[in-house]
Structure 1
Amino acid sequence: MHVLIADDHSIVRSGLTHLVGELDEQVAVTAATSFAQVRTFLDGGESFDLIVMDLRMPGLNGLDDVADLVNRVAPIPVVVFSMVDSPEEMRAVLSLGVRAFIPKSTDDVLVLNILRLVLAGGSYVPPVLGIAAPTAQPAKVAPSVFDGLTRRQLEVLDLLAKGLSNQEIGERLGLNISTVKTHVTGVLKALGVGSRTQAVLLVKESGRGRLV
């Protein structure tokens, strides 16, 4: 897997490089510090599987440049990782075909899961927008980070998100404590997170009231 990270801040590039390293054992990262460098890599024939870019970098002159990039590399997914917090600007960017708009304040575990979702063909919209992401095929349902869970695991995750303990989950679902622990472990593994708190955060960020 080859990922292009375009951001003029070294700490952001370093953080994202570390993060995408968890997407694939063989991931290779190319870094660009300006939009001119992005164009240079593409003009040179570089091939990428994913592009993650900032909206505020030298050489990037507004949404027209973003639209040109999205069209040029299609169907390679382009993800915007930005400090921009204007809902109107987020919507405008997503309307160009950008597959995900990730605010830089997003938890790193959620960022990783969003990138996995995008690579699987899905899209992500910040909860602040409260709408579905624009897509060329509105009828197609985008994959979800929860698609890999069984119905029972979704039930367990729903109750985890409500703050119930393993004992309380067992009583609610008619399961013994050992079985509940097994389901919780399966949920964490399927979501790629290391704790119940991170799993619950994914549910909260998804904006979904219930998973089942």
Structure 2
Amino acid sequence: MGPLRVLIVDDHPVVRRGMGALLGSFEGVTVVAEAATGAQALREAHLTRPDVVVMDLAMPELDGVEATRRLLALLPDTAVLVVTMFEDDDTLVSAIRAGARGYLLKGADQDEILAALRSVAAGHLVVGPGVAARLVGRLDAPAPPPAFPGLTPREHDILARLARGLGNAAIAADLGLAPKTIANHISTLLTKLGVTTRAEATALARQAGLSPHPTTSSQPKES
């Protein structure tokens, strides 16, 4: 077999370069690309077809959980290893449900990282020993039903951003779509929700707790 091909995804340049230097020093590992956002990660993964993606979670444009979900829909044989500062159960379970095979905290030593890379590439699940029991218990519980099952994933994305108070232009920039497309989506989701104004839709979304994962634009960075 050839070297393990790795894509690094992190919006902090210093962290990204440091991880690249570390992984590049491992025998049998080749860093094929880097990305600063979830959207860039999807493009680079499509171009380079990595064996493993080292994924941050809190990023602009597209958070790491949703990027993992979309990346694995595109490249189901690729393994995702999350490396993050988030250690709460909800974030861990969201990442694993999205398809991540590994979950390490930033600060893991180089032996742990190398072992995790090889393990997830071989199809194994890797989490810290203190998290494993909690993870099993949480994954055994059924996933909660979606708050708005009639909406498409894109409409969910837009409704979540309405809940954050974003206008059409900001939502369009965030999702990489035209403002007119956003307006059309909002008109459709208002009809589906049975409301007539975006304020009513926003209130429903907030009552349901619908919001995207944290990004640098919505709160201080903790990736």
TM-score band by shorter chain is: 0.5 to 0.7
Q: Distance in 2 between matches of 1:104 and 1:72?
A: 27
Partner of 1:130: helix, strand, or coil?
Answer: helix
Q: Distance in 1 between matches of 2:100 and 2:29?
A: 25
Residues 63, 30 of structure 1: CA spacing in aligned structure 2 closer, same or farther, 3 A cutoff? closer
Q: Once the 2 structures are TM-superposed, how far is the Cα of residue 86 of structure 1 from its aligned partner?
A: 0.7
- 2:113 equivalent to 1:72: no
Query: Residue 101 of structure 1 is aligned with which of 100, 103, 114?
Result: 103
Residues 28, 88 of structure 1: CA spacing in aligned structure 2 closer, same or farther, 3 A cutoff? closer
Structure 1 stretches of 4+ with a deviation exceeding 4 A read: none
- Identify the residue that residue 92 of structure 1 maps to in structure 2: 94
Q: Once the 2 structures are TM-superposed, how far is the Cα of residue 133 of structure 1 from its aligned partner?
A: 6.5
- Identify the residue that residue 9 of structure 2 maps to in structure 1: 6
Q: Distance in 2 between matches of 1:26 and 1:102?
A: 18
Q: Distance in 2 between matches of 1:99 and 1:112?
A: 14
Q: Once the 2 structures are TM-superposed, how far is the Cα of residue 37 of structure 1 from its aligned partner?
A: 1.4
Q: Distance in 2 between matches of 1:108 and 1:40?
A: 27
After superposition, residues 1-212 of structure 1 pair within 5 angstroms as 1-25=4-28, 27-43=30-46, 45-61=47-63, 63-131=65-133
Kept in 1: contact 2:57–2:63 (CA 8 A): no
Residues 122, 35 of structure 1: CA spacing in aligned structure 2 closer, same or farther, 3 A cutoff? same
Partner of 1:56: helix, strand, or coil?
Answer: coil
Kept in 2: contact 1:17–1:29 (CA 8 A): no
Q: Distance in 1 between matches of 2:38 and 2:130?
A: 27
- Identify the residue that residue 179 of structure 1 maps to in structure 2: none
Kept in 2: contact 1:34–1:57 (CA 8 A): yes
Residues 6, 92 of structure 1: CA spacing in aligned structure 2 closer, same or farther, 3 A cutoff? same
Please state which structure has a larger fraction of its residues in helix. Answer: 2
- Normalised to the residue count of structure 2, the TM-score between the two structures is 0.53
Opposite residue 73 of structure 2, the aligned amino acid is N
Residues 61, 21 of structure 1: CA spacing in aligned structure 2 closer, same or farther, 3 A cutoff? closer
Higher relative contact order (CA 8 A, sep 6+): 2
Root-mean-square deviation (CA, aligned residues, Å) is 2.5
Which one is further off, 103-112 or 17-26?
Answer: 17-26
Q: Deviations over 1:31-84 (max 9, x none)?
A: 1111221122245x3221111110011112473343122222211101111111
Kept in 2: contact 1:125–1:131 (CA 8 A): no
Q: Once the 2 structures are TM-superposed, how far is the Cα of residue 18 of structure 1 from its aligned partner?
A: 2.2
Gaps of 5+ in 1: 135-212
Identity %: 30
Residues 22, 72 of structure 1: CA spacing in aligned structure 2 closer, same or farther, 3 A cutoff? same
Q: Distance in 1 between matches of 2:114 and 2:54?
A: 12
Q: Once the 2 structures are TM-superposed, how far is the Cα of residue 96 of structure 1 from its aligned partner?
A: 2.0
Opposite residue 81 of structure 1, the aligned amino acid is V
